[in-house]
Structures are given as structure tokens and as C-alpha cells.
Structure 1
Amino acid sequence: MQVSVIIPVYNEVKTICAVLERIKQVGIVDEIIIVDDGSSDGTREMLASLESDPLIHIVFHPHNQGKGSAVRTGIQSATKDIIIIQDADLEYEPGDYPSLIQPILDGQAKVVYGSRFLGAQKRDFLLLSKLANLFLTFVTNLLYQQSLTDMETCYKVFRRDVVKDITFHSRRFEFEPEFTAKILKRHIHIHEVPVHYNSRGFDEGKKIGVKDGLESLWTLVKYRFVE
């Protein structure tokens, strides 16, 4: 099975090249879909210089629409069997790809999440971010009768055919709970594996705030009862 990586990008000129280099070093990726979501810091110009790379396909949004919109564009553009969602900010380590796709290759799962809370490795979190993640995961488990440890993880890995008939609507960070809710409502098991994680602060470009957390909470509740 071949692998597509989707990277939603917004003002990540300082990190995107390092992320791409790490992805290529893993050696198992057949397609990289980069969706620039209206960057204004030089990211777009830098990405334009990579368009001749046969591994990379770049989509430019004309203006900022939100991470969820960028991921949706990436899913629509992907052509390979397995899709990995990758952030562009160096918080997540592409070296985890082999362990993330193995349950799919083995036929154990169709959807895999990379959990920052599994395993013995010590990971650094912003306290508020950690508490919000744990709370939203708790609500997910309560509403959908699950035992997940990290619903909000960036690393969502899935067979492309699983989502071909699912319509996603979220434009911002509430894509994570919408994706999770719609997968679970279809009785598709989410398999979790531990991943590495290096949190960054708001001064380093982190973009998620309290409003995003409240929207995620509402999204979990909403999609429990509607499609």
C-alpha cells in the first residue's frame, strides 16, 4: 500500500523545510500534499520553489480558510492508499510513520491515531493545552463509548477508502473532533500507538486558543446527534 502525507501549512516558513526533510528521510512516503492556507510570511514563495519536486504536490488557498479547510483540500487531493495528516511545526516526529501505518498494513485497523499519552516516554506539554486535550478526549469517550487517550492528536492515519463517502464541514481546529465523531459513528475502530511529541508555545507560533477548544467541544456534542 502506498502512502500520502497531507501537510496543512499557515505561516510556517521557519519549519516547513525541516519537516519535509524528516518526511523524506523516513523513506516510505509516496506523495506529499502541501496545502498552503494563505500564508503571508514567505511560506508561499518558498513552497513555490519546491513545485518541481516529483514527490510534492502543492495546493495554494487564495486566502486563509482554517486548518480544517486545508486538511479537507488535502484529502480531496490525495491519491494513495493510506493518508497521514502531518503538522508543519515540528511538534510531531515523522520517524513514527512506520509504527503508525503498521496496524493498517497488518489488517488490524483502518484508522490509527498517534497518542501523546501512551508509552513511557516523557513528553513536554503546555499545561492548559494538556488539560484541554484530556478533557476533550474524556468527553469523546463519554459520548461515543470509547477508551481513547488522545482524540486531539495531529497524527490521524487512515485508509483513503474509509473517508471517500464521508463529508467533512469543519474549517478550523474542530476538524479533529468532527473526523473522530464521524469515524466512530460508523463503528470503525480507532487504533492508538504511542508517538513522540515536542510542544511549542504561542510565542513560537502555536495557534490554538480557548475559542478553538469550545468549538471542539460543541462539535463533539453536535455530531453525536446529527450527521
Structure 2
Amino acid sequence: MNSLLTALSIILPAKNESAAIGATVAGIIALLPDAEVIVVNDGSTDNTLEVATAAGARVVSHPYSKGNGAAIKTGARAATGEIIVFMDADGQHDPADIPRLLARLEEGHDMVVGARQKGSQASVGRGIANKFYNRLATYMTGHTIEDLTSGFRAVRASKFREFLYLLPNGFSYPTTSTMAFFRAGYSVSYVPIHAAQRIGKSHIKLVKDGMRFLLIIFKIGTLYSPLKLFAPLAGLLFGMATLWYGYTFVDAGRFTNMSALLYTGSVMIFLMGLISEQITALMYKDEG
């Protein structure tokens, strides 16, 4: 474990987190004194920069707020460690859980996610939404995803950087990185954690960002396995066409234009999915 810790970078994206960032950084340094701690100051208007610096972190600042995902990308580019741990700066994540994530990473995994247990969600609505996202993403990938949106995770830096171009600048980087790792055939594991209530005001807007998470799932789903989206839709249209044809044949003894349209639509959607599947395979082709 010691060799792993000396090659470790811990990245905390922070926007107006002066109330919590000092204690968070101090807790990490006390536990892992050999780790590189990077705070990405995402255009804060409070004294996040000064507090983080005083606590002992290396601070990289954005001149204006670019978003949580942009801060993650900045931190990943700035990190010197072979292993990167991403965690929130608002006091939700316990630094004491970091060694547990690293221990699981040492077992041969490429990404280890801190999966929030019951009682860790900020609200009932958010908990229900996350369960839905987890189930939908599990269907897309064919792998059990315990916590799609957790921002507490340890990754192998070289593999995480392969997908920086895919990551959005908003709050959906955990969604994108998890599904991209699965698509590339990298090993992803989960460690149960308890997330505390954040210190300060949340920057997430449930409805707006919830829809954004959902759109990201479908976006990465089409990159992961497009046929899992296109084939069911094509099958639905084919079934509707067959039912309508059966009805019109019994009722009027003829094949209608609507049946033809539905059959044609189903074939076109299936072919679009097939082509997308081939494009996806080329995108992830090993260049080595």
C-alpha cells in the first residue's frame, strides 16, 4: 500500500466551498501525508483559494466557473500520481474511506467507486432518481452498477485520461466515466460508503441536472451499445405494424399505408442501430 500512496493524487473540485475545504484537506493530509492533494478552484467568489492553500493543498484555479466536470478534467491533467482519487470538497466524503478504495484497486481493478448506502442520499427524490439511473445503466452495460453518480472514486490515471474528451463540463462526469470504463473492458468495482450531509449549499439543481444525467446515460448508451437502444424501438414499431396489419386485414382485407410506414420505420431504426454499433466498435478499437 505504501508504494501506492506515494503515487497518489487526490483531486477535489471546489466552488465556493470555503466552509468545508479547510477541514477536508487537513483530514486528507493527516491520513495520507505522502499523497498529492489538488484543489481545483472553479471560479469561487469566496475565499476557497486562501483556505485550501493554508490547509496545505496545491490549488489550481479557473478564472471563472467552468463546471464540476471541467474541474475534474483540469485536476486529472495536473495530477502527477499514477492513481487518482476524486472526492467532493463539501465534507460529504470521509477521507478514512480512501484506503478502502485503494485496497480494492490493488486487487486488479481499474476504477473503484464509493457506493453510497441507504441514508446517504440528500433527499428521497434524489435517491429514487439514482436508483432509476443505476438500473438503466445496468441494462445498457450488462454489468451491475451500484452507484452511477457517486463522485467519490479511485482510478488509474492513464486509463481515466483516455476518456477526458468524453466527459461533460457539468455534473455528469461520474456517469460518463463509469460507462466508458465498462465499454473499454476495464474493471470497475464498488466499495460501500456512507456520505454525510454536505456543508454549505448544494450547486446541483435536481430537475435540471436530473434530466442532464438522464440525457448523458442515453448519450453514453449509444456509445456503449447502440443496439440496446435502437433494437427495442425497432421491435416496438415492428410489433405495432404487425398488429395494425392484422386488424386491417381482418376488417378490410387489405395492407394499409400505415402498416408500410411502421414496417419501414422499424427496419430503418434497426439499421441505424447496426451502423452505430459498428462505429462504436471502431471508436474503441485498440490502436496498439
Q: When the two structures are superposed, what TM-score results if normalisation uses the length of structure 1?
A: 0.88
Residue among 192, 196, 199 paired with 1:198: 196
What's the counterpart of residue 203 of structure 2? 207
- Cα deviation for residue 184 of structure 1 reads 1.2
Deviations 1:42-100 (A, max 9, x none): 213434546xx4xx321110000100000000001111111100101111101001110
Q: Which amino acid letter does the alignment assign opposite residue 43 of structure 2? A: G
What's the counterpart of residue 22 of structure 1? 27
Is the 8 Å Cα contact of residues 101 and 112 (structure 2) preserved in structure 1? Answer: yes
Measured in 2, the distance between the counterparts of 1:76 and 1:95 equals 25
Q: Which amino acid letter does the alignment assign opposite residue 15 of structure 2? A: Y
What's the counterpart of residue 154 of structure 1? 151
Q: Could you say which structure has the greater relative contact order, defined with CA pairs below 8 angstroms and 6 or more residues apart?
A: 1
Measured in 2, the distance between the counterparts of 1:219 and 1:124 equals 20
Q: When the two structures are superposed, what TM-score results if normalisation uses the length of structure 2?
A: 0.71
Shift in CA distance, 131/58, structure 1 to aligned 2, threshold 3 Å: same
Q: Which amino acid letter does the alignment assign opposite residue 31 of structure 1? A: E
Q: Which consecutive unaligned segments of at least 5 residues does structure 1 have?
A: none
Q: Does 1:174 align with 2:179?
A: no
What's the counterpart of residue 256 of structure 2? none
Between Structure 1 and Structure 2, the one with more helix by share is 2
What's the counterpart of residue 86 of structure 1? 87
- 1:88-127 equivalences under 5 Å are 88-107=89-108, 109-117=109-117, 123=120, 125-127=122-124
- Cα deviation for residue 211 of structure 1 reads 0.8
Is the 8 Å Cα contact of residues 3 and 80 (structure 1) preserved in structure 2? Answer: yes
What's the counterpart of residue 59 of structure 2? 58
Q: Which consecutive unaligned segments of at least 5 residues does structure 2 have?
A: 224-282, 284-288
SS of the residue aligned with 2:166?
A: coil
Shift in CA distance, 58/191, structure 1 to aligned 2, threshold 3 Å: same
- Cα deviation for residue 29 of structure 1 reads 4.8
Q: Does 1:139 align with 2:149?
A: no
Shift in CA distance, 29/192, structure 1 to aligned 2, threshold 3 Å: farther
Is the 8 Å Cα contact of residues 160 and 177 (structure 2) preserved in structure 1? Answer: no
Shift in CA distance, 78/183, structure 1 to aligned 2, threshold 3 Å: same
Measured in 2, the distance between the counterparts of 1:170 and 1:40 equals 23
Q: Which amino acid letter does the alignment assign opposite residue 27 of structure 2? A: R
SS of the residue aligned with 1:15?
A: helix
Q: How many residues align?
A: 217
CA RMSD of aligned residues (A): 1.9
Measured in 2, the distance between the counterparts of 1:130 and 1:104 equals 27
Which has more radius of gyration?
2
Measured in 2, the distance between the counterparts of 1:110 and 1:60 equals 28
Shift in CA distance, 46/122, structure 1 to aligned 2, threshold 3 Å: closer
Is the 8 Å Cα contact of residues 4 and 29 (structure 1) preserved in structure 2? Answer: no
